[in-house]
Amino acid sequence: MVCFRANPSFFLLSFSAFLFISSAFGNSLLHHTRRSPEVFVGREYGGVVQWDTRRSLAEGSAGNSSLILAETRTYRKDPLDNFKRYSGGWNISNQHYWASVGLTAAPFFIIAGIWFVLFGLTLCIVCLRYCCCPRAPFGYSRACYALSLILLIFFTLSAIAGCIVLYTGQGNFHSSTTSTLEYVVNQADTIVENLRNVSGYLAAAKGVAVDSIFLPSDVRKNIDNIETKINSSASTLSQTTTDNSKSIQDGLDAVRLALIIIAAIMLFLAFLGFLFSILGLQPLVYFLVMIGWILVAGTFILCGVFLLLHNVVADTCVAMDEWVQNPTAHTALDDILPCVDNATAQETLSQSKNVTYQLVVVVDRMIINISNVNFPPIAGPLYFNQSGPLMPVLCNPFYSNLKDRQCATGEVHLNNATEVWKNYVCQVSSSGICTTPGRLTPTFYNQMAAAVNVSYGLYRYAPFLVNLEDCTFVRDTFTGISNDHCPDLRRFSAWIYVGLVVVSAAVMFSLIFWVIYGRERRHRVYTKRSTARSLDNENKAI
């Protein structure tokens, strides 16, 4: 998510670059009218997609509805709106959403506050009473003593159980967040690799002579720009991904460490407190009570934070799922992700297929009409003393209606045409005439190779770029996250929060019972002693 959010302009850049290639070719290479299809207007210049076009297209054709993501899950009270229910659904750019999620954690913050104040006051009162008017303990009851001991043991055991849940939960949470992160980084790397490959094929255009037959110089310059843009998008994405994933990973590691330390401290505290109060070491018990008083307030606040986190994770998972299932609706995720609608994407795809088709037709015509013809020297510019075996023609992957076509035998495939044609290059004299058998001059070969590279790049990577453009790629990524990672993320964030609740509550009651038990114990000891003393006295009297 973070990397998608961090760099939305990246997608825009690469799509518009791509769209530009398609339209540039469509327009100038193939000599059809300069009028661009309407969808391309406004996209071509400066890498800026005009949102209005996209919106109106989306609303006009596919979805009239504006889908509210995770609507039932996020139907919560909103403190910023007089505690009315918030109905905007999952929308992280909306402060009401955050306020209403934050409110779900409020009980823990309130408990933390109340605990801090009340227990603090109680401690003060106990302390004052102890210091000002020390009284002889009285009122020993065997039942009270036993009960407080039992409850003390019970809460200590609960604290231990809570620590175990917390520890296991954080371990599992850490590994599921890490694997989710790896998955996202991996998807980003796939994008980067594809973009780098596209940029490699487009780089061919650079090496072509100025008077190229296939690539007019203005088109070449544009391809050059686009290649640089795609290259820099790839670099930016790769850089952002590396940086973000590193800092996220560091953050996760820190959370993990913090939770382990908290679990350990609470465990230690519960154990020591239990031990000291059983042994009747009152000063140490009071020291631990002071520490525990603050720690418990802290862990209650952490409970709230993790409950909030858990709710946001669950909301996001539901939102992703609903977004994936409703590709046409306008949702809050569209504000973050620059997706174009399906019709536009399909148009781009067919445009790029058409460019590939037309380029191959031009190249094949050159081979059939020029290279493979043995012209007499008087043929003028078409003659360069071509001779030798005939060159295989290039396989056109599409029919003229842009349906997929199988290669006929004897045709070379786009991906290795440049390899195969190398064998047909002759050596040339200074006047550009072949002096050895061959059907291509090196210049001619380079231009054909460039044309082949550009059309192969489009043919091979257009579907991928279109997938980026209409967010199919993002949908697939989200499907992967919501199917494979969400259940674990939700479960283990809940474990952490449950573990924290159990630990906090158990330690909280333990603190109280350390004090109560300590008091009961003192009373018991005192009562026993005084009973013994009075018995003694009676004996003496007798």
Ligand X SMILES: *[C@@H]1O[C@H](CO)[C@@H](O)[C@H](O)[C@H]1NC(C)=O
Contacts (CB under 6 A) with ligand X, residues 3-42:
26, 30, 32
Indicate the pairing of strand 77-78 with strand 84-85.
antiparallel
Give, in order, the Cα–Cα distances in Å from 290 to each of 54, 120, 152, 272, 287: 61, 9, 18, 13, 5
- 304 and 112 in contact (C-beta within 8 Å)? yes
Q: Among 163-171, 209-217, 435-443, 519-527, which window interacts with ligand X (CB under 6 A)? A: 435-443
- 266 and 507 in contact (C-beta within 8 Å)? yes
Q: Which of 325, 374, 387, 427 binds ligand X (CB under 6 A)?
A: 387
Q: Among 134-142, 146-154, 218-226, 442-450, which window interacts with ligand X (CB under 6 A)? A: 442-450
CA distance 408 to 219: 31
User: What is the residue type of 142?
Assistant: R
Q: Is 432 in the site for ligand X (CB under 6 A)?
A: no
Nearest 5 degrees, angle CA 77-CA 78-CA 81? 130
Minimum Å distance from CB 485 to ligand X? Answer: 22
For ligand X, give the closer residue by CB, 140 or 214.
214
Contacts (CB under 6 A) with ligand X, residues 202-261:
203-204, 207, 227, 231, 235
Residue 345 φ then ψ, to 5°: -60, -45
For ligand X, give the closer residue by CB, 3 or 414.
414
Q: Is 459 in the site for ligand X (CB under 6 A)?
A: no
Q: Is 75 helix (H, G, I), strand (E, B) or coil?
A: coil
Minimum Å distance from CB 391 to ligand X? Answer: 13
Q: Which of 48, 261, 279, 368 binds ligand X (CB under 6 A)?
A: 368
* Number of residues located near ligand X, criterion CB under 6 A: 51
Minimum Å distance from CB 400 to ligand X? Answer: 7
Residue 247 φ then ψ, to 5°: -70, -35
Length of the chain: 542
The 8-class DSSP code of residue 70 comes to T
Minimum Å distance from CB 269 to ligand X? Answer: 44
Minimum Å distance from CB 445 to ligand X? Answer: 8
Q: Among 127-135, 136-144, 280-288, 409-417, which window interacts with ligand X (CB under 6 A)? A: 409-417
- 506 and 270 in contact (C-beta within 8 Å)? yes
Q: How far is CA 317 from the centre of its chain?
A: 12
Q: Which of 16, 176, 199, 241 binds ligand X (CB under 6 A)?
A: 199
Q: Which of 401, 406, 430, 539 binds ligand X (CB under 6 A)?
A: 401
Q: Among 16-24, 71-79, 411-419, 493-501, which window interacts with ligand X (CB under 6 A)? A: 411-419
Minimum Å distance from CB 14 to ligand X? Answer: 14
Contacts (CB under 6 A) with ligand X, residues 49-108:
64-65, 88, 91, 93-94
Cα torsion 422, 423, 424, 427: sign: positive
Beta-bridge mates of residue 440: 425
Beta-bridge mates of residue 412: 394
For ligand X, give the closer residue by CB, 263 or 450.
450
Annotate each residue in 308-347 with x if it binds ligand X (CB under 6 A) or - if it does not, as one string: -------------------x---xx--x------x---x-
Count of alpha carbons within 13 angstroms of residue 515, beta-carbon side: 18
Q: Among 76-84, 112-120, 201-209, 276-284, which window interacts with ligand X (CB under 6 A)? A: 201-209
Give, in order, the Cα–Cα distances in Å from 45 to each of 142, 222, 467: 87, 11, 21
Quote the radius of gyration of the chain (alpha carbons, Å). Answer: 37
Here the tokens at position 218 are 């203005």
- 50 and 75 in contact (C-beta within 8 Å)? no
Note the residues at the interface with ligand X (CB under 6 A).
Answer: 26, 30, 32, 64-65, 88, 91, 93-94, 193-194, 197, 199-201, 203-204, 207, 227, 231, 235, 327, 331-332, 335, 342, 346, 354, 365, 368-369, 385, 387, 401-402, 413, 415-416, 418-420, 433-437, 446, 449-450, 453, 472
